[in-house]
Amino acid sequence: MIALMPDMLPKIALDTSKGRLEVVLYENVARVAVASLLDLAESGFYNGMKFFSPAPQMKLHFGRNDQGEGAGYQITQQVPRRNHFDAAGRLGLAGTGADNGSDFFLALEAMPHLDEKLPAIGQIVSGLDVLQQLGPGDQLRAVKVLRGAPAAVDFSKTVTREETVRLSRS
C-alpha cells in the first residue's frame, strides 16, 4: 500500500487521556486529507476534544466539538483503490458531508466494508494497546506533528458555498 518508506512519511502523535498513539500518515496516497489533518494539528484545533463514536465497538471519531461542529470546511475525498481497512489501528477520513475537513476515525478492528468507500489515510505504529483502552468521552489532549509532510501540497477549504480558502503546506 505504501510506495514511500514509512520513515519518509509524515507522522503524528495523539496524546490521549489513556496514553499516546503514534500514526504514520499516507501522504503519498491521500495528500489533501493528510494536509488538512496536519494543518489542524499544528493550529491546536484538536487539543482537548473528546472521542465519540456512532459505532463504539468498531471505531472512534475525533474532530468535532461538543456541539458536533467540525472545522467548518469541506475537503475532497480521495479514496485510493489500494487503501484498505484490513487491520485495527487504521486512520480514516470520516466525514462525507459539507463539514468533513476535520473529522477522522480510528478503526478498532478490520473494517473491510469501508474499503474503497472511505479513505484510509494512516496507520497506528505505536500505541495499539492504548487504542483498545479508549472509548467515547475519553479526551484527545493534543495532536502533535512529529514529522511533517515531505512535499508541498495546495488544497482548498470550502468554507461556505461562496467562499473557498486556498491553503499551501510546505
pLDDT at 101: 80
| pLDDT of the residue at 100 | 77
Q: How confident is the model at residue 169 (pLDDT cuts 50, 70, 90)?
A: very low
What residue ranges define each of the domains in the chain, with the CATH number in brackets?
A: 10-169 (2.40.100.10)
User: What value does the mean pLDDT of the chain take?
Assistant: 82
pLDDT at 2: 40
> Torsion-angle region of residue 65: left (phi > 0), alpha (psi -120 to 50) or beta?
beta
Q: What is the average pLDDT across 71-88?
A: 79
**Residue range 21-45: average pLDDT?**
90
CB-CB contact of 41 with 22 (8 Å): no
Give the pLDDT confidence score for residue 74 in this predicted structure.
Answer: 81
Output the 3-class SS for the chain: CCCCCHHHCCEEEEEECCEEEEEEECCCCCHHHHHHHHHHHHHCCCCCEECECCCCCCEEEECCCCCCCCCCCECCCCCCCCCCCCCCCEEEECCCCCCCCCCEEEECCCCHHHCCCCCEEEEEEECHHHHHHCCCCCEEEEEEEEECCCCCEEEEEECCCCCEEEEEEC
| pLDDT confidence of residue 170 | 41
Quote the CA–CA distance of 2 and 135 in Å, as a whole number. 29
Q: How many Å apart are CA 124 and CA 131, to the nearest integer?
A: 9
pLDDT at 98: 64
Q: Choose among 58, 67, 69, 42: nearest CA to 135.
A: 58
Mean pLDDT of 124-129: 96
Per-residue pLDDT tens over the stretch 91-123? 998 866 666 788 899 999 999 998 888 888 999
Convert the pLDDT of each residue in 154-165 to its tens digit.
555 554 444 454
